[in-house]
Chain A
């Protein structure tokens, strides 16, 4: 079925530096596309802006963090890669979507490097970066993609040089929902609130009924967040298991709420992913984005895929969580198809839909 790829085998190795800073992670990485068609990750460095428990990250403070760490992170990435700035073919940066100020701070660095070393710029869609890195790492050929992060929740499938969005959240993103609940129950933001929710959920036992809101291939998550928050004011709520509680006592803990929140939300995500797979007749599913690290989500997706005789592909935190290398990967694919971003057009955009990108490198 797949027609010949429009992307030609490289006549020589190609090198790209990728810079990412659309949210609270600052990342830089260098990738090399080899003449045999494979890719090598030469470096992948990240620094995360971590806020105190109960607090989210604000755009201005995050931009300050990125400016403070940009040189260190990029220097580490380039040094580790073992190649020099002059060897690069292009510098790739995140054009969007994301938070305005952090995006701009990184784009400014990219522009400066571009002028300093006389290297072409390639603006990259953050979501396409996730998809391309996921495909490269896992070897998934034409998967349905579940992209789940702090800012995005989308079910995507490739069709005619476009990553079409089949379903998505109608309100808040899944990572946002989990993070906000983590703040309600005062979980640490280190290494990430979502990670700590996952650990809490492992201790949960009782499934507390929460709203379940799928609408075709879309989901709605804000009602679930509100309902879960409201349960922390319920008289049956205990932050932790009481030391000597009677078996008959009716209560639930924050661990139970984390468990119930994950079980409910992930069931919704797996359901819409399955619906998309059934719709297009695909047997592969790829999970990308920060929430994609969650082992329970991966497990549920794997069971679903197995029931359909399919396969699930997922990556670990190095590639799931926002990083520079994914920007380098998607940017270099597009550069090899002849795409460049002139410096006068090297802007950022907070809103940049996945399906706006012309995926020239795929058939």
Chain B
């Protein structure tokens, strides 16, 4: 069959060129794209190569991370953790296509204070904001939202997945009227599993929670009652697994995550 003489040696490069950049982080650029006509939007996460490291090491790491993120997402899906599904994987070029989530980040729903953390997040949106009308009608009380956050993280931890970078920017509330949301209810979706790994250790789960606690404290003024709602919901969902994690969380808080080092 005389098929497909391809003009572009790298279709993924062509795909990236035709996509809209939405954010740029330390390791990846994130685009909104479409893979084909008759399909919905897809989030394309492109891990560009790092010139500072040895080319062989760079290629190995990129492959391992794309594969790792894909596996973590599928593992979450199978365990009922609400995460976006996969749509495209090009491991050779460091590209991952992920289901687009129509919604708003928990960070923006909570509204971050002006003062407080003076650091700005680099992963802020670059593209102009989506049609704001889409987001009208997120009539979810803060407390209910926090319960959703705690429950979803617990489901993830029960599946022995450690997110590695829990922040309020890495969780989204999917709009009930979104076409991609056939369940028709508010759905909290965890995103960005670039640093995720699997572990059964209470310590790792506690550190995951601690990272989120710090993120709440640095991003949202008067975050304490909010985070305690998260934790309450988490406890309920974790059941008998909670006490061990709770103890570790106390430890981690006391030492500020880190051990003391000898000079």
Contacts and interface: CB of A to CB of B under 8 A. Distances in A.
A–B contact at 8 Å CB threshold (below): yes
Interface of A: 1, 22-23, 96-99, 126-127, 149, 151-152, 154, 159, 165, 168-170, 173, 207, 209, 212, 215-216, 263-264, 267, 270-271, 274-275, 277-281, 300-301, 303-304, 307, 350-353, 355
Chain A CB within 10 Å — which of B27, B119, B258 has the most?
B258
Nearest to A214: B195
A23 B263 contact: yes
Given A96-B263, A97-B261, A159-B119, A275 B26 contact: yes
Contacts of B256: 165, 355
B181 to A, nearest CB: 31
Given A278-B123, A280-B119, A207 B56 contact: yes
B50 interface: yes
A97 B262 contact: yes
A264 B58 CA distance: 10
Contacts of A97: 260-263
B57 A264 contact: yes
A304 B113 CA distance: 32
A351 B262 contact: yes
6 contacts: A212-B57, A274-B26, A277-B26, A278-B25, A303-B51, A307-B50
A327 to B, nearest CB: 12
Interface footprint category on B? 20 to 34
Nearest to B256: A355
A281 B121 contact: yes
Given A151-B262, A278-B122, A355-B256, A209 B60 contact: yes
Contacts of A169: 261
A207 B57 contact: yes
Contacts of B54: 207, 263, 267
Interface in B69-111: none
A127 B261 CA distance: 11
B53 interface: yes
Interface string B168-185: 000000000000000000
Listed residue (B52, B53, B60, B165) with the most chain A CB atoms within 10 angstroms of its CB: B52
Nearest to A308: B26
A98 B123 CA distance: 38
Contacts of B263: 22-23, 96-99, 126-127, 149, 151-152, 350, 352
A216 B211 CA distance: 10
A350 B263 CA distance: 7
A263 B54 CA distance: 7
Nearest to A322: B263
B36 interface: no
Contact of B261 (A263, A270, A303, A351): A351
Contacts of A212: 57, 61
A140 to B, nearest CB: 17
A302 to B, nearest CB: 8
Nearest to A282: B119
B186 to A, nearest CB: 29
B118 interface: yes
Contacts of B51: 303, 307
A281 B120 contact: yes
A96 B262 CA distance: 8
A165 B214 CA distance: 13
Closest 6 interchain pairs by CB?
Answer: A97-B263, A98-B263, A278-B26, A351-B260, A303-B52, A267-B53
A98 B261 contact: no
Interface string B193-223: 0010100000000000001000000000000
A304 B61 CA distance: 16
Nearest to B119: A280
Nearest to A172: B261
Given A97-B262, A168-B258, A351-B260, A301 B52 contact: yes
A267 B52 CA distance: 7
B150 interface: no
Contacts of B26: 274-275, 277-278
A1 to B, nearest CB: 7
Given A274-B27, A278-B123, 16 more contacts: A1-B118, A97-B260, A98-B263, A152-B261, A165-B256, A173-B261, A207-B54, A212-B57, A263-B53, A267-B53, A267-B54, A267-B61, A270-B53, A271-B27, A279-B121, A351-B262
A126 B56 CA distance: 37
A212 B164 CA distance: 16
Interface string B112-140: 00000011111100000000000000000
A268 to B, nearest CB: 9
Contacts of A165: 256, 258
